[in-house]
Amino acid sequence: MKSSRVTLIAWLFACLSDQSVGYPDGKVYEACSTMMPLHGHLPQKFPKHTIKVNVTEFKPGDRVKVSLSGPTFEGFFLQARNADHLEDPAVGSFALADQRRSQLLTCGHVKNSAVSHTSKSKKNHLDAYWIAPRDAPKKIQFLVTVVQKYSIFWVKIPGPTIFQPNTPPLTTIMSTNWNIPTSLPVSYLSQPFNSSDCGDRKFCVRNPTNCDPKANNCFFLSFKQDYDSLLIEMSGPSEGYIAFALSHDQWMGGGDDAYLCISEGHRVDISTAFLIGRSYPEFDSKNALEKMSWRLADGLIQCSFRRRIHLPVVTGRFNLDANYYIFLADGEVGEGGVIYKHHQQPLITNGKYNVLGPLKDIGGSRSPFLIKIHGALMFVGWITTVSIGVIIARFFKSVWPNTLLFGEEIWFQVHRTLMIITVLLTSASFVLPFVYRGGWNKQAGFHPYFGCVVMALALFQPLMAAFRPPPQAPRRQIFNWLHWTAGTTARILAVVTMFLGMDLPALNLPDPWDTYTMIGFVAWHVGTDVLLEIHGYCLIRKVEVLEDDRIQILQSITSAEAQGHTFKKAVLLIYICGNIAFLVTFITAVMQV
């Protein structure tokens, strides 16, 4: 700051001594509001230069390409302003497209809110990008001052106007009889909140459930009634913003009533917004909040404010004496205070609550219900039913040879039933993420791709089995081979898919616990497989040896087999117990996130 002032003074002297130079380095801070070059000449009347933009509409966070072109010029000064109040200061910030010939200037308090030349080199074209801020007015107009040479310049050449579509009508209907203090005093919180009154004198939402807002790695929200208003405290670890919203359903959007505390580095902006769709929140120009205060310390954003329980209907704010789902989210903030989508799944309470009472001290889940069901059902299918079904078919064909179940051998009935259950579970839970997302989620990495292959193989298996050739047919071998290959591939891919799915943000099972447990399951399963395989091999050897010795006592062969069967049944029983233990562990974890 100081050095730029020194440069400025230096340039002022330079100007006085050399009238032909002006501000060849483009650091024209004086021009911030008037956009007038201090050249001591009158501006020209009919502009020859034009600004073009690549959009007609914008929303907060958008990048708009701004191009200036026309006859050769030396200097320029570009800003974006509120089209309805062109005298107001510059709006939004710029990013450079041409680092060599252009530079960013800070006008007023808005960083990088103007662009200018870096030297008086001749140019006839220049591009820059404008980044729409969070609180942008509805209409933005670009304005540029162009200096052809020292004495020939045009001031505030009007450029195109761009619009912010569907700004909520609420801001315009906002009636005047709604008395909100015009100056909202914002103060600094001297000490962190505490959770000592939770569930007792205030309604709290905590994540994790034992969160103490003094600790910097947990989220805390509390509501405390005070006559006709509520004192709301919110705290959470974030560099960007923390926010909560009240909703009639478990989905974001539909006009949810949101409250955001946005860190601007050295201060916190406390705002209200509506979550209309699943996209950018629509900020309210009028603030329904009173007694706002904040604190930024140790990576923690804390803010507190007061809100009246009932606000006029036109404000669109929900009355606080009804039942709502409560969301708690956090995320990053970009240039111009633009907030980014939460980087972890927001917390959603597991039911609707009235924050006025009964006073509760609750947690919530960061994982959407549908995704939880997806994970849980897939676990049932690909940890339990598929594994037992395959083991039965591979090792237990001969164990109950004379008992039929509904006219078929037991092993076959069990195998077929378990496999059909697996396919049904997979199909049912396969659709859930799509229902939840309303489409394909590109951010879910390889999990969905592997998942689709598993689904396809899972559907292919029963189809192929239904059209299998009879046992004696020569093509039966091909079927056996295909059935085994497709099934084994599906199971291996399913394990990979599960490994990838467990750590997706929408179902963040505790890490690395989940990975180790899954490795444990794989070891348990492969161990059992190997054990049964070796046992089968030994049994065949034993029977062969008995036959070889020509002892030919059928009795001993059968007794060897019978022993083998007892062993296998014991292994199966133990395996199933272990398998179900793993399944229960995973499902418990899914239900707890």
Ligand X SMILES: *[C@@H]1O[C@H](CO)[C@@H](O)[C@H](O)[C@H]1NC(C)=O
Stretch that binds ligand X, among 62-70, 321-329, 437-445, 574-582 (CB under 6 A): 62-70
If one asks whether residue 129 binds ligand X (CB under 6 A), the answer comes out as yes
Stretch that binds ligand X, among 58-66, 291-299, 365-373, 433-441 (CB under 6 A): 58-66
Q: In whole angstroms, what is the distance from residue 115 CA to residue 35 CA?
A: 11
Partner whose binding site includes residue 194, from ligand X, ligand HEM, none (CB under 5 to 8 Å by kind): ligand X
Partner whose binding site includes residue 129, from ligand HEM, ligand X, none (CB under 5 to 8 Å by kind): ligand X
Contact 306, 230 (CB under 8 A): yes
Contact 144, 81 (CB under 8 A): no
Question: Which residues have a Cβ under 8 Å from the Cβ of 78 and sit 6 or more positions away?
Answer: 51, 66, 68, 94, 114, 115, 116, 128, 142, 143, 144
Which of 5, 65, 125, 475 lies at the binding interface for ligand X (CB under 6 A)? 65
Question: Which residues have a Cβ under 8 Å from the Cβ of 465 and sit 6 or more positions away?
Answer: 416, 483
Write down the least CB distance from residue 375 to ligand HEM, Å: 3
Closest-CB residue for ligand HEM? 451
Nearer to ligand X, 104 or 170 (CB): 104
Contact 186, 213 (CB under 8 A): no
Q: In whole angstroms, what is the distance from residue 129 CA to residue 125 CA?
A: 14
369 in helix, strand or coil? helix
Partner whose binding site includes residue 337, from ligand HEM, ligand X, none (CB under 5 to 8 Å by kind): none
If one asks whether residue 163 binds ligand X (CB under 6 A), the answer comes out as no
Which of 3, 176, 182, 196 lies at the binding interface for ligand X (CB under 6 A)? 196
Write down the least CB distance from residue 55 to ligand HEM, Å: 29
Write down the least CB distance from residue 53 to ligand X, Å: 8
Length of the chain: 593
Total number of residues that touch ligand X (CB under 6 A): 8
If one asks whether residue 54 binds ligand X (CB under 6 A), the answer comes out as yes
Partner whose binding site includes residue 448, from ligand HEM, ligand X, none (CB under 5 to 8 Å by kind): ligand HEM
Q: In whole angstroms, what is the distance from residue 52 CA to residue 70 CA?
A: 11
User: Could you write out the DSSP letters of every residue in 466-493?
Assistant: HTPPPTTSTTHHHHHHHHHHHHHHHHHH
If one asks whether residue 201 binds ligand X (CB under 6 A), the answer comes out as no
User: Could you write out the DSSP letters of every residue in 131-198?
Assistant: E--TT--SEEEEEEEEEEETTEEEEEEEEEEEE-TT--THHHH--TTS---SS--EEE-SS----TTB
Stretch that binds ligand X, among 60-68, 527-535, 552-560, 575-583 (CB under 6 A): 60-68
Q: In whole angstroms, what is the distance from residue 24 CA to residue 118 CA?
A: 7
Question: Which residues have a Cβ under 8 Å from the Cβ of 400 and sit 6 or more positions away?
Answer: 409, 410, 411
The residues binding ligand HEM (CB under 6 A) are 371, 374-375, 378-379, 382, 426, 430, 433-434, 437, 440-441, 444, 447-448, 451-452, 454-455, 494, 497-498, 501-502, 504, 506-507
Write down the least CB distance from residue 425 to ligand HEM, Å: 9
Nearer to ligand HEM, 94 or 430 (CB): 430
Stretch that binds ligand X, among 59-67, 106-114, 150-158, 390-398 (CB under 6 A): 59-67
Partner whose binding site includes residue 301, from ligand HEM, ligand X, none (CB under 5 to 8 Å by kind): none
Write down the least CB distance from residue 239 to ligand HEM, Å: 23
Contact 207, 368 (CB under 8 A): no
Tokens 């750590």, located at residue: 503
Which of 19, 20, 124, 194 lies at the binding interface for ligand X (CB under 6 A)? 194
Task: Give the count of beta carbons closer than 10 Å to the beta carbon of residue 574.
Answer: 12
Which of 55, 421, 428, 452 lies at the binding interface for ligand X (CB under 6 A)? 55
> Which residues is 404 bridged to in the sheet?
409
> Which residues is 114 bridged to in the sheet?
79, 105
Write down the least CB distance from residue 226 to ligand X, Å: 12
Nearer to ligand HEM, 140 or 457 (CB): 457
**208 preceded by cis ω (within 30°)?**
yes
Nearer to ligand X, 192 or 236 (CB): 192
Q: In what order do the strands lie in the sheet with 289-297?
A: 186-188, 289-297, 300-308, 229-237, 219-226, 203-207, 361-362
Write down the least CB distance from residue 127 to ligand X, Å: 9
If one asks whether residue 291 binds ligand X (CB under 6 A), the answer comes out as no
Residues engaged in binding ligand X (CB under 6 A): 54-55, 63-65, 129, 194, 196
